[in-house]
Chain A
């Protein structure tokens, strides 16, 4: 498929043409940070951004989501109304490669086993990701350590490269190529454009300074569940939800029912939950298998770097660096991984007589 060019001042035209058919989600500036929002005016789109505060998982898996609504007769439920908007088509514009990869991980999670999460999967099926490469990764980025790359395009439908005043447009999936064909007014890319894109890719890769060696981490984690290192690593952890809420791959949620007794109706909602909260593993008996921050911190690391590789053969982290930036006590994931990698293997125990 040929590579095309989208001028930056043509983004509004792109929106105008697609907004009739699709819900258009793009980065917008909000209160000092960037967020992905459904826009109704192309002027809202912020093209000059690094990455969003809350990852784009919130587009398809929002913080608060109604699962279904129901009507009652005062005592019993008489009617259940399912979601009607799941067939709407979405365009997710301006997704970075790390976040685009997170959608692959999210899909694997919500489609795993006997019970498929219809709500997420239907929305995902109807979504088209227009991703964009990272020209200047941050010092906290480490996508290259988790099998990613600042210009990785496999998980996107259309891949853009920011060439300054224009974007290089490359169709990746069939969905993406079909859309590009629809946009017949896109001009063709020149050889110089493709060469510049390649140079930017190399430059971006060189700018990634954080390199973590994860080749043995999964195995080390499997055999060090009770290691003292976990106490050291979780010493200052507060047990808030910042790291997990801002993580592109974290998927835990709580389900609550809301009853509006005055109007005889109710709804079932799911909200984000986190393994870092004290209630997360609290049993109704009162027993809590993870009742302190040592065990909860350990769980988060194991989940991403041990359980995900075991269950899905994927690393459960996309290297976006948000948790590192936002942790209130600066509990740095990179420091933790390095400490784990440096755990000395246990010496053989000599059975003394």
Chain B
């Protein structure tokens, strides 16, 4: 299984950042690479099992299922159903941890998936840098660094 782990510090209280990232349908609002998004079957975005269907600014389409959501632990877990990346059994976890020293927020995003061995390094680098880190950087600038 390939593994990706990216973490960063965002200069805003965890509760505030959680308000933004908890919206499973909200990727266009806080990531730089998603054009638009909808929840299939008109389900609420915090219903466990709902599926988000979104398009990337470069044209790709992705469908992901919400597996877990915790307002207590500030955690979202989801899996990829379809994507142009060619990954299998892809499960990702986005989690916030409050940093009481300074009332800031630690954000970590991890994923595990299967893929052909010769693509692993490239996929790990792409997901880590162009998806997770890019999204965190977008969040950081939104919240002032």
Bound pair: A and B? no
Residues of A at under 8 Å CB distance from B?
A: none
Residues of B at under 8 Å CB distance from A?
A: none
